[in-house]
Amino acid sequence: MGWLWAIIVGFVLGIIAKAVIPGKQHSPLWLTTICGILGAIVGNAVARAVGVSETKGIDWSRHIFQLVAAIIIVAAVDALYMATLGKRKHRARV
């Protein structure tokens, strides 16, 4: 059940990150979900390092760290995806 929850959280974080980032992102949904999963993992690690990984009630600070990490990762991966896609299109024209 843990892997299913990770996919669901990653999907939601990835979609929110795509909505927050200005402009159009060209990465596919499966890649956005993977970036969201990575964002959740990195956000948890940062929250743990800062000392706010577990609080009473809803862990809002941990979720903020996860979302910020997901936004950074989605933006970086989308830029890499577009750069790679552009190189492929350029090679096809030559």
pLDDT value of residue 7: 86
Question: Are the C-beta atoms of residues 20 and 51 closer than 8 Å to each other?
Answer: no
Report the alpha-carbon distance of residue 4 to residue 7 in Å, rounded. Answer: 5
Q: How confident is the model at residue 6 (pLDDT cuts 50, 70, 90)?
A: confident
- Taken as a whole, the chain contains a residue count of 94
Average pLDDT over residues 56-81: 90
**pLDDT score, position 56:** 79
What pLDDT digit, counting tens, does each position of 8-56 carry?
888 999 999 999 998 888 889 999 999 999 999 999 899 889 988 677 7
Whether the pLDDT of residue 89 is over 70: the answer is no
Residue 93 has a pLDDT of 55
Would you kindly state where each structural domain of the chain is located, as residue ranges?
2-93
- pLDDT (average), residues 72-94: 78
Residue entry with tokens 């927050």 = 20
3-state secondary structure of 15: helix
